[in-house]
Amino acid sequence: MGKCDALWNLTSRSTKAADAAFEILGYRFCRPCVTRWNSHYDAVSLALKAGDKLNVVCKQLGLPQFQPQHINFMREYTALMGPVAKALDVLQGEKNCYFGYVIPTIATLTEKLNAASPVLHVTHPLEVALLNGIQKRFSDYMSNPDCIMATITHPKFKLAYLPPSLHGAYILRLDQEVNAMSASVEPAASNQDDDDFFACATRSTQSNLQQHLVYLNDPSTEIHMLQNHPQVKQLFLKYNTVIPSSAPVERLFSTASLILTKHRNRLSDALFEKLLFLKANGLGARQSTT
C-alpha cells in the first residue's frame, strides 16, 4: 500500500508524471479520498488493471517496483473488498434507495465474504474484521420486525431473505396488516339487514387474504406490480419510505452549495428550489441549451 500511495501521490501532483503514465496505460490513476468509502478499492483496482505495465510505469517514474507478493496481496484485497464496494453502492444509491434493501444487501455481502475465505492467504484478518464489523453494526437490523417487513413488501425480495422458520409468523403479520389497511379505507356499511352486512364482511376478509397470498406468489419483481396489490402497496410505502443511507441527502446538500454561493446570495427561496430541482434531476444543462 505504501508503493501504491507513492504512485497515486506522484501522478496526482505532477501533470508530467500523470501524462507519462497515461501514455503507457491509456487511462489515469485515481487517488483515494477519505470522504468516499469506495475510493481506495477503486484506486487499487485501477493499479491492478495495469498488469505487467504497472512496473513499467513505476520504472518510468522512478518509483519502487511491485514484487509478485505485492500483486498477490492487491488481488486478494480487491477480491475481498469488491463485494463491500458493491454493497455500499447499492445502499448509497439514488435509484433504488428503499429500506427493504438493507437485509438482502447485508445478507448477500456476508455470504460473499464467507465464500471468499478458501482463496485468501494474506488478507484473512481483513475478512474476519469485516465480518465482525458487519455483525456488530447490522445484527439488530437483520432481526428488526420493521426492517423485515420492508423487505417482504418489496417485490424484488418478498420472503427470499427471511429464514424459513419465520415465514409463517410474517405471512400472518402481512395478512393482519393487509386486513387492517383495508379496514381503514373501507367505507362505512350502509343500513342493510344483518345477513347482508356479515356477508359483505366475509367477502372482504376473503378478498384481503387472497390479495396478500397472490402478492407473495406473483412472479413479477418489478415495483410497478404493486399497482395490482393496493393494500400491499400501502404497506410498501409505510415501511420503505426510510432510505438506507444519508448519502443521497448529503449529495443533495453538496449540490445546493454549488447553487447558493456568495455571488448568488439574493436568490429567493422559490427560485433556489427550482434551480436545485433542475440540477438534481440533470435538467440544468438541458435547459441552458434549449
In this prediction, residue 250 carries a pLDDT of 85
| Mean of the per-residue pLDDT values of the chain | 86
Give the pLDDT band of residue 37 (cuts 50, 70, 90). confident
Does the structure show a pLDDT above 90 at 206? no
Give the pLDDT band of residue 226 (cuts 50, 70, 90). very high
Per-residue pLDDT, averaged over 167-187, amounts to: 80
Per-residue pLDDT, averaged over 36-63, amounts to: 93
pLDDT higher for 28 or 196?
A: 28
In this prediction, residue 265 carries a pLDDT of 84
In this prediction, residue 28 carries a pLDDT of 93
Does the structure show a pLDDT above 70 at 83? yes
3-state secondary structure the chain: CHHHHHHHHHHHHCHHHHHHHHHHHCCCCCCCCCCCCCHHHHHHHHHHHCCCHHHHHHHHHCCCCCCHHHHHHHHHHHHHHHHHHHHHHHHHCCCCCCHHHHHHHHHHHHHHHHHHHHHCCCCHHHHHHHHHHHHHHHHHHHCCHHHHHHHHCCCCCCCCCCCHHHHHHHHHHHHHHHHHHHHHHCCCCCCCCHHHHHHHHHHHHHHHHHHHHHHHHCCCCCHHHHHHCHHHHHHHHHHHCCCCCCHHHHHHHHHHHHHCCHHHCCCCHHHHHHHHHHHHCCCHHHHHHC
Give the pLDDT band of residue 192 (cuts 50, 70, 90). low
Residues 6+ apart with CB under 8 A from 211: 178, 229, 231, 232
Q: What is the percent of the chain where pLDDT is above 90? A: 61
Give the pLDDT band of residue 203 (cuts 50, 70, 90). very low
Q: What is the pTM (predicted TM-score) of this model?
A: 0.78
pLDDT higher for 110 or 290?
A: 110
Read off the pLDDT of residues 251-286 as tens digits, 9 standing for 90 and up.
888 888 889 888 888 899 999 999 999 988 876 555
Among 62, 80, 84, which Cα is nearest to 11's?
62
Does the structure show a pLDDT above 90 at 202? no
In this prediction, residue 233 carries a pLDDT of 92
| Residue 260 in grid coordinates | 447558493
Read off the pLDDT of residues 134-150 as tens digits, 9 standing for 90 and up.
999 999 999 999 999 99
Domains of the chain, residue spans? 1-66, 146-240, 247-289
Q: How far apart are CA 254 and CA 196, in angstroms?
A: 60
In this prediction, residue 245 carries a pLDDT of 86
Per-residue pLDDT, averaged over 7-24, amounts to: 94
pLDDT higher for 235 or 94?
A: 235
Among 129, 93, 89, 92, which Cα is nearest to 113's?
129
In this prediction, residue 201 carries a pLDDT of 46
Q: How far apart are CA 46 and CA 31, in angstroms?
A: 10
